[in-house]
Amino acid sequence: MTSVLIRGESVAACCCASLLARAGVPFSRQSVSRPKLPAIMIGETAQRVLGDIFPGAELFKGLPHIRKRIVKWGQDTEALALPHAAVVVSEQTLLSRIEPLLAPVQRTEGAPPEWTIFSSRPLPDPSEDIHFGSRMAVASAVKLKPGCDPEASWVESLPHGWLFMLPKEESGWLLSVGDSAEALLAESSLLAPQILSVSSDARSFPCHPRVAEPLCGPDWLACGSAALGFDPLCGDGSGYAAREAILASAVVRAAVQGSGRDGLLAHYRARLLAGFEKHLEVCAEFYRSGHNGPWWDEQKIASERGLAWCRTQLSGFGVFQYRLSGFSLEPVYTVPRA
């Protein structure tokens, strides 16, 4: 029977393991240690997707809730309070809640895997990352002033970058992009009044969009953060990872059942690129409207370059030959033109 190796420690890897186990496909897992994000926000849609993959689990019980977004985006704009529904959790906490739900590994001994799902790097040659921008984010722990709304997320655009904050009782996590937290807070009229102090213990990571090319090969698929990197301003990373895992697992299962690999891999690549294109469209709009100045111009150009690249890659694809039905892929039958 076909066996699968799932490589990595991530939400995507755990989702793939759950879905393959449910389908009875033997698999093994290979741990790849990497830094975990200190805080992630998971919206209602992503919560539902994860709830479908791990039915009956209380993954989000007792977590802090975000019930509104307070946004000051654009030059000379007023702050707006918008309804929102999400929870805040550290990546490590989420993974520790998922791990006990996973079925025991079903291995096929003595033979190499016929498929590998990479949720962590490195990917097989000749795959490499294509970057659209070079911006970095710095995550800093902060102490909040009394009166800061503990159920609101905060975002503010400034002349030299943007700030995003997730609270947690009397503390929180601040993302600063474009300049240091101290420099951006010095320009801030929305977030600065909410923050008492910023910790010197900070962690930086790339936050510009990127894509692995190729995304898959004859016996492997990239999934989650190994496949695509999203701007945290414009995307729910956990939701993207879960949906990619659903598709990756469905592709493997369809191949096991006899569908042609070439068509399945072409479908997988096109679906991921189509989702990435939509993300870049949102990015481009945010960076067009955020502010004026050289830094913002650079981000707009990078987003537009990514859009042009995606559209070129997808231009010759044609129509999708498969669709998801639940967690399975099924062929789309089209009637030939007369």
Output the pLDDT for position 337. Answer: 45
- Provide the domain limits for residue 326: 4-38+90-133+208-330
Mean pLDDT over the full length of the chain: 93
| pLDDT top residue among 208 and 33 | 208
User: pLDDT tier at 335 (50, 70, 90 boundaries)?
Assistant: very low
Encoded amino acid at 279, one letter? H
Looking at the fold, whether 256 and 315 belong to one and the same domain comes out as yes
Whichever domain contains 72, its CATH number is 3.30.9
Looking at the fold, whether 269 and 145 belong to one and the same domain comes out as no
Output the pLDDT for position 106. Answer: 56
pLDDT at position 45 over 90? yes
Q: Report the run of H or E that residue 82 belongs to, with start and end.
A: strand 80-89
Output the pLDDT for position 284. Answer: 96
Looking at the fold, whether 124 and 197 belong to one and the same domain comes out as no
Residue 312: CB atoms within 10 A of its CB come to 9
pTM for this predicted structure: 0.94
Quick check: 156 and 73 in contact, CB under 8 A? yes
pLDDT at position 114 over 80? yes
| pLDDT top residue among 299 and 237 | 299
Whichever domain contains 322, its CATH number is 3.50.50.60
What percent of the chain stands above pLDDT 90? Answer: 87
pLDDT-wise least confident of 14-18, 74-78, 103-107, 246-250: 103-107
Which pair of structure tokens corresponds to residue 198? Answer: 């910023």
For every residue of 110-167, DSSP letters joined together read: TS--SEEEESSSPPPTT-EEEES---EEEEEEEEEPTT--TTEEEEEEETTEEEEEEE
Positive or negative, the CA dihedral 134, 296, 214, 244 is positive
Asked which of 155, 182, 206 is the last residue of a domain, the reply is: 206
Mean pLDDT of 5-14: 95
Output the pLDDT for position 42. Answer: 96
Going by the DSSP 8-state scheme, the letter that residue 31 receives in this structure is -
Output the pLDDT for position 338. Answer: 44
Looking at the fold, whether 98 and 227 belong to one and the same domain comes out as yes
Strand-pairing partners, residue 172, are 142, 167
Q: Is residue 159 part of a domain?
A: yes
Output the pLDDT for position 7. Answer: 96
Q: Provide the domain count of the chain.
A: 2
Looking at the fold, whether 72 and 104 belong to one and the same domain comes out as no
Output the pLDDT for position 173. Answer: 95
Asked which of 159, 189, 206 is the last residue of a domain, the reply is: 206
Looking at the fold, whether 235 and 161 belong to one and the same domain comes out as no
Looking at the fold, whether 24 and 75 belong to one and the same domain comes out as no
Looking at the fold, whether 142 and 200 belong to one and the same domain comes out as yes
Give the side-chain half-sphere CA count within 13 A for 57.
21
What percent of the chain stands above pLDDT 70? Answer: 96
Output the pLDDT for position 109. Answer: 58
Mean pLDDT of 70-91: 96
Q: Is residue 16 part of a domain?
A: yes
Looking at the fold, whether 266 and 129 belong to one and the same domain comes out as yes
Looking at the fold, whether 20 and 112 belong to one and the same domain comes out as yes
Output the pLDDT for position 110. Answer: 62
pLDDT at position 34 over 90? no
Output the pLDDT for position 186. Answer: 98
Q: Is residue 57 part of a domain?
A: no
Mean pLDDT of 93-121: 85
Q: pLDDT tens-digit profile of 223-245?
A: 999 999 999 998 788 999 999 99
Q: Is residue 52 part of a domain?
A: no
Q: pLDDT tens-digit profile of 146-167?
A: 999 999 999 999 999 999 999 9
Looking at the fold, whether 264 and 277 belong to one and the same domain comes out as yes
pLDDT at position 1 over 90? no
pLDDT at position 174 over 50? yes
Looking at the fold, whether 261 and 177 belong to one and the same domain comes out as no
pLDDT at position 125 over 60? yes
pLDDT at position 27 over 70? yes
